[in-house]
Structure 1
């Protein structure tokens, strides 16, 4: 059973309490108020076996003039910016924070599966190591909806922009205790070693079937534990920060917004926050 908060969050599958909005769809239409044309909100998962965009998603992309993702993924400096912001603050090191047992577990896994000693990543925020582990949690070549959206937008010569910067996104992981990130990394490794990935496969299947209710049920029953800080930093704050940008851009031109499905529902989800501002947000079937 997957009990790792970071895993669920980076998959875009974690949600906040109160996901009672009606509608089982990963694509939502935004209309109302002063909008002259509809914009669209698309929930993604960040890793999957099949990131093929469905016809209704392609149709929504054709109806819009620009694409907003969580970050600007066609920024030519994106990799450099990411590398420049991966180090922990105050020159901290994993080797100084982790227990000897934790360090050994992580180091052994990295060397066995990637040929990389933990020493080479010692100054990196532990969440980065977690992101490497996802390739070992699915039995297929990893695909990304974000990259498919980038490909489509590039073909259509539409601008790709970001709701936030890579710097601000990575800074979130300075607000969450590195010790907790290390503990979660070890938990993930133990789950992978034990072959406990059935739940992840169920989550991906629920997403592919656009059964968000089932997806949320799986997450709720998995006993994924999170605290208020995680919710506040990774979900609530970001959702609220995005709303003015979404509203401004949707008023300027029809826009396609693609964010992790985690951000769609809930009392502090993007759907309900837009509805509170007077916009109509309905599922596209």
Structure 2
């Protein structure tokens, strides 16, 4: 059970991966932040929070940039001993709601059958879990049982080896509050749709992975604009844009004090409201590193 809870946490982070519009930018996931009074540059890296081990790649520029910095900031502090306890406190629906109350009977059976037949999991174990978190299990199924690896966990291990502190831009309660901005019935609707159209969603997901591996931000943008699969403007605001705005002041203050390696989901880098553009608007020079 604890392993499943841990998987949910990793997969929730994956939900923020889908990149937003990023017009005519270099193909890169690593960006150098300088200027505007910074004495030593910081670095910004776009992750996918979980990926097949065979597709995992940590380039020399990423490793060198990591070594140059004094501390690491992830979306959340992944080495916080209280992380899993916080996750378990906030993963359930409010007011004693459950899947049977937010899904039609036939849709509940569809979800239950998928979890049992495809994942070997009894849906009753997660009957109170927010549907958007359960969607992450569908993503894991799309990875065809491959051995997975996490960029965030890798960075935590690298930080420990280099005796650097790991911190977070957000807390688990904050992250869960963003999910709560999406109505439960909409979360449930999206979950059922991903199962009923599994083959199409898997094809789309594989294209996203391929674009990520190619560091093709513009390609990710085109995929995210697909009306059948892309997230709505309200969902983007809850899961991406509002968080980006919150992070900018934090990044400014952190980078002003010491050189920092920031690693956040690739979906947060891109577009008019992406972290890169927002930093540039604040007067920083943000350059691709290849």
Same fold at TM > 0.5: yes
Partners of 1:225 and 1:203 in 2: CA distance: 11
Moved more, 139-148 or 157-166: 139-148
- Superposed displacement of residue 118, structure 1: 2.1
Point out 4+ residue stretches in structure 1 off by more than 6 angstroms: 6-9
Q: Is residue 32 of structure 1 aligned with residue 35 of structure 2?
A: yes
Give the C-alpha shift of residue 147 in structure 1: 1.4
Q: 2:64 aligns to what?
A: 59
What residue is the counterpart of 2:193 in the other structure? 187
Q: Which residue of 2 aligns with 1:246?
A: 251
**CA displacement at 1:134 relative to structure 2:** 1.8
With structure 1 as the length reference, what TM-score do the two structures score?
Answer: 0.91
Distance 1:13 1:199 in 2: 11
For the aligned residue pairs, the C-alpha RMSD in angstroms reads 2.0
2: CA distance, partners of 1:226 / 1:202? 16
Residue correspondences, number? 277
Moved more, 243-252 or 125-134: 125-134
SS in 2 for 1:74: coil
Note closer, same or farther for the CA distance 1:51–1:147 as it changes in structure 2 (3 Å cut). Answer: farther
Deviation at 1:115, TM superposition (A): 3.3
**CA apart distance, 1:214:** 2.1
**Are residues 1:283 and 2:265 paired?**
no
Change (3 A) 1:24 1:222: farther
> Unaligned stretches of 5+ in structure 2?
1-10
| Structure 2 partner of 1:3 | none
Output one character per residue of 1:188-213: Cα deviation in whole Å (capped at 9) or x when no partner: 22233x47523322221221121222
Q: Distance in 2 between matches of 1:84 and 1:244?
A: 28
Match of 2:177 in 1: 171
Q: Tell me which residue corresponds to 1:161.
A: 167
